[in-house]
Amino acid sequence: MVAVAFLVTAVGTATGMVSGLDDRAASDEARPAPTDGRPSPDRDRVPPSSPGSPSAAPAASPSVSTKASASPKPASRSPSPTRTRATTAARLYRHPSSQVLEWVRENPRDWRAGVIESRIADRPAAVWFADYTPATITSRVRAVTSGGAAQGRVPVVVAYAVPERDCGGASQGGAPDLAAYDAWIDRFAAGLGSREVIVVLEPDSIAQSDCLSAAARAGRFASLARAGRVLKAANPRARVYYDAGHSGWNPAAQQAALLRQAGAASAASSDGIFSNVSNFHTTSAEIDYDRQVLAALGGPPGLGAVIDTSRNGNGAPPEGQWCDPAGRKIGQAPTLNTGEPRIDAYLWVKLPGESDGCKGTPGTFSASYAYDLASP
């Protein structure tokens, strides 16, 4: 059974955050999105063999399950000597260009502006690169990473161009084939610079790989493993995280087995996993789930997890709703200091206020939706 899990809707600015796609201006309320793919709601899916209520399936959208796992929490981990961790004083970078920032600048007298600015626009968020544009990808990634380096802050970038993305769903797109994707990754890596940077590598690419044939899945996983190696070789301080879906999707052991095939257990390519991108599962549920995945994954003891907390303040909506569901709220502010063993960061990967497709064109900013999410 497939519900929404990660819908990535094409928009020049990737998931709500910053526009790493191009230099076009963002929109006021809900402007049309480009044809490249980019996350919107995260589809929740619950395979017949897995227990629990439906959650979002691959398409950047919310998910459903909010129940935390009862598995014991592991003791504090010791960072792997092969892994570079951000210092406790490090701060996340807020890129100066995004749809929400543009809306705030253009609408200073709007009655919602104060809340949207203080609770969403002022927070650091990820920058998505969801279009296949080999000629400009290096310079665009470099613009973000150099901006973070100039401020001594850590940028978060999302690589989202894998072929057959979203299994042909609402977030379809990406490179035409794996050879083209490998070349795109090479150029993406060339823009990473030499300072700390967090790379969220291909949301949904692993959790939603069951739509592929065995041969196509093996090819994708080989390219993802290669991608991690290339990114970390280009910048040894880059922290690369792989797709773990979310707590309402695949069982932890199953997801760990897939991650292992994609190189996520290798220190040469991976710093760990990410979960809940564009979804709504509670932070506590994701912490427990991610620890289970990491325990089953194996690999260096320094592997950790990052969690998207942008819209999970009220947990997942009932009955697997994923498209701009009512009653959701922004979650914990982005930080590199979670205080939780094996949880490296809480990030805003999906920007609050960017529509999943019901309050506006998928991937475009809706002030009314942003206000609903941010209001007390």
**201 Cα distance to chain centroid:** 8
Tell me which residue has tokens 């929400």: 100
Determine the angle formed by the axes of helices 214-234 and 178-189, rounding to 10 degrees: 20
List Cβ neighbours of 292 (8 Å cut-off, separation of 6 or more): 69, 71, 252, 253
Report residue 296 CA to chain centroid gap: 22
* C-beta atoms surrounding 114 within 10 Å: 12
177 carries an active-site annotation: no
E strand segments, 61-164: 91-92, 127-129, 153-154, 156-159
How many CB atoms sit inside 10 A of residue 179's CB? Answer: 12
Closest CA to 356 of 59, 40, 62, 44: 40
- Catalytic residue of the set 42, 131, 204, 290: 204
d(CA 354, CA 11) in angstroms, rounded, equals 10
Contacts of 366 (CB under 8 A, 6+ apart): 29, 30, 324, 353, 354, 355, 359, 360
- Give the active site residue among 36, 42, 131, 166: 166
| Active-site residue, 166 included | yes
DSSP assignment letter at 235: -
For the chain, how far is it from start to end, CA to CA, in angstroms? 35
Please report which residue ranges of 152-251 form alpha helices under DSSP H: 178-189, 214-234
> How far apart are alpha carbons 207 and 12 in whole angstroms?
24
Least Cα distance to 369 among 354, 347, 357, 348 occurs for 354
Residues taking part in catalysis:
166, 204, 356
